[in-house]
Amino acid sequence: FPMYPLLFLLLPSTLAVTCFDSITGGTCCGDYCYAYRENGKSKIEETGCMIGEIYRSVNGKCLDESEKSYCYCDSDLCNNPNADYPNWKQGKLKCGKERNCIACDRFHFDDTLYDDCRLEEGTIFARLMQPQSCARFQAGKLSNGNNELVTCVCDKGDNCGKKLLEFQKLDSKKVTCLMGSGGVDTCKGDFCFIIGSEYISLRKRGCITNNETLFAGLFKIGYFIDRGEEHIICQSKNCNQNWEVAKQSVIINEPVCSTTTVTTSTTSTTTKSTSESIEEYFRRRWNSLIYSWTNVFNDVMLRLEG
């Protein structure tokens, strides 16, 4: 086979850890482990692996949201679903009409301003927002306007997001990117992004602009997986044209772990063959897809019932 110089490489990760995985009922290999629960409850509802250096900024933290929380760690089996977790502490902030918030999220979407407690956002990019940060996300055109979100997250006092958002310019010309699920519409920002598999097709490609003065390095070039969904952030002209082009622009570090089998009394470690690893990978992706669609269906039913 001919050899071509490629930027897209599969390299062993130095941060690989074994994590509990609620989707498969076993373990998975990643750069970081996560545990998810609904706030106000001590029971962990979901565990799994995250892949990508973008999670370094949230390692050892819980992303405090008013209804849900994601906690991240980087040691083997640190996301034990059976461990004792402290009761969730209620927030004290006022954010618009909301009370008892942990952090405020003030955002501008489709010419409308919103004030709320920090909630789980529709994309991993917005979920990575941390207190005292502001960013702009552009993801294509809608029938009634632009699919653009400017958001600020803060925890420095009641309604702290109001003035913070007013001062945001977030007008970067660093790189030109494609946006939308197809076509040639473009945007300009600090970074381009593309999502490999998702449910809202208009958010497949777009631009990210971060306020580096408020929170430097919040977004980074690279490949990462969030709950079974692949993402790439890149920084060259039209690098998010499609998935294959985007892969050429980043270095992908593939986590390599020994296989840990967890029982109630013992923990044993073995090494899997390549064929077994591939089989497990596709089985996990299939289970993740079914799991995600179930969550989407349940969410739609709850909205209809509401």
Give the β-pairing of 10-12 and 252-254.
parallel
User: What is the rounded distance in angstroms from the CA atom of residue 195 to the CA atom of residue 52?
Assistant: 14
Q: pLDDT digit string (tens) for 18-50?
A: 999 998 999 999 999 999 887 667 788 899 999
Question: How is the chain split among helix, strand and coil, in percent rounded to 5?
Answer: 20, 40, 45
Q: Where are the domains of the chain?
A: 10-271
Residue in 68, 73, 69, 38 with CA at minimum distance from that of residue 55: 73
Written as one string, the DSSP assignment of 67-126 is SEEEEEE-STTTT-TTS--PPPPPP-EEETTEEEESSEEEEEETTEEEEEE----SSHHH
With beta carbons less than 8 A apart as the criterion, state whether 271 and 256 touch. no
User: What is the rounded distance in angstroms from the CA atom of residue 272 to the CA atom of residue 75?
Assistant: 20
Written as one string, the DSSP assignment of 36-49 is EEETT--S--EEEE
pLDDT of residue 71: 85
Tokens of 199: 């449910």
With beta carbons less than 8 A apart as the criterion, state whether 219 and 191 touch. yes
**Dihedral sign from CA coordinates of 16, 73, 199, 148:** negative
DSSP class of residue 197? Answer: S
Q: Count other Cβ atoms within 10 Å, centred on residue 49.
A: 26
* Arithmetic mean of pLDDT over the chain: 76
DSSP class of residue 221? Answer: S
Q: Count other Cβ atoms within 10 Å, centred on residue 24.
A: 15
DSSP class of residue 241? Answer: S
The per-residue b/e assignment along 149-176, b for 16 or more CB within 10 angstroms, e otherwise, is bbbbbbbeeebbbbebbeebebebeebe
N residues, the chain: 306
Q: pLDDT digit string (tens) for 222-280?
A: 999 887 788 999 999 999 999 899 999 998 888 888 754 443 333 333 334 434 444 44
Cα–chain center distance at 53:
12
Q: pLDDT digit string (tens) for 159-217?
A: 999 889 888 889 999 999 999 887 889 999 999 999 886 454 445 899 999 999 999 99
Quick one: how many helices (H) and strands (E) in the chain?
4, 22
Confidence check: pLDDT of 124 > 50: yes
DSSP class of residue 130? Answer: -
User: What is the rounded distance in angstroms from the CA atom of residue 81 to the CA atom of residue 112?
Assistant: 40
Residue in 4, 2, 6, 74 with CA at minimum distance from that of residue 35: 74
User: What is the rounded distance in angstroms from the CA atom of residue 294 to the CA atom of residue 182?
Assistant: 27
pTM of the shown model: 0.73
